[in-house]
């Protein structure tokens, strides 16, 4: 069954449809959450987060538009959001480093060819971000992956908004130099 057919089935028969969607995408949701927040979620937390993801899919079944994105992409997006929420709830983020691996930077919507071609660049980018060291790597990660504002980042790291912004700008310049091979 294609993703569009799954969505149509979910709309026609919500109870059976959500079961089919869960069967098709539960592993994807779990893997996404574990990749991001595996260090901070228990098995029970994981089950609850995945349940939240599919409850949201169920609620949004009538407004989901396959023309704007696939059902898999929506499940991944919801799973990432739930994982980020779990990371935020865990306590002081400055004391525990966030997980940073190449999987965080992958694009689930890419073709297999694009994924293969981009794998080496993603590895280089992850290594370059990690080489910035704290707090710069944390600022880049939180700004460009988690989408936090500089004010939020500054508050979490004990910096002013301006200090976080300046460090972020400098970190991006350094990151560009590293990626272009000009350490």
The string of pLDDT tens digits covering residues 18-64 is 999 999 999 999 998 888 887 778 888 899 999 999 999 999 999 88
- Tokens of residue 34, six digits: 């574990």
pLDDT of residue 112: 57
Same domain, 22 and 84: yes
More confident residue, 89 or 95: 89
**Distance separating alpha carbons of residues 32 and 117, to the nearest angstrom:** 22
- Return the CATH number at 63: 1.10.1740.10
Average pLDDT, rounded, for the chain: 81
7 and 80: one domain? yes
Which distant-in-sequence residues (6+ apart) come within 8 Å of 68 by Cβ?
Answer: none
What domain range includes position 36?
3-89
Report pLDDT for 109: 53
Selection from 8, 9, 28 nearest residue 74 by Cα: 28
């Amino acid at each position: 069954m294609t993703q569009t057919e799954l969505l149509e089935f979910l709309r026609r028969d919500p109870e059976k449809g959500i079961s089919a969607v869960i069967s098709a995408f539960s592993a994807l949701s779990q893997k996404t959450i574990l990749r991001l927040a595996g260090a901070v979620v228990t098995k029970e937390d994981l089950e609850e987060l995945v349940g939240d993801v599919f409850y949201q899919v169920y609620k949004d079944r009538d407004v989901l538009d396959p023309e704007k994105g696939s059902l898999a992409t929506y499940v991944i997006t919801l799973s990432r959001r739930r994982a980020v929420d779990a990371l935020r709830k865990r306590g002081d983020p400055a004391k525990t480093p966030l997980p940073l691996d190449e999987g965080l930077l992958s694009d689930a919507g890419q073709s297999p060819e694009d994924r293969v071609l981009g794998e080496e660049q993603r590895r280089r980018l992850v290594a370059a971000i990690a080489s910035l060291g704290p707090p710069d790597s944390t600022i880049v990660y939180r700004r460009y992956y988690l989408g936090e504002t500089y004010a939020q980042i500054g508050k979490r790291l004990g910096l002013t908004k301006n200090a976080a912004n300046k460090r972020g700008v400098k970190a991006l310049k350094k990151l560009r130099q590293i990626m272009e091979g000009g350490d």
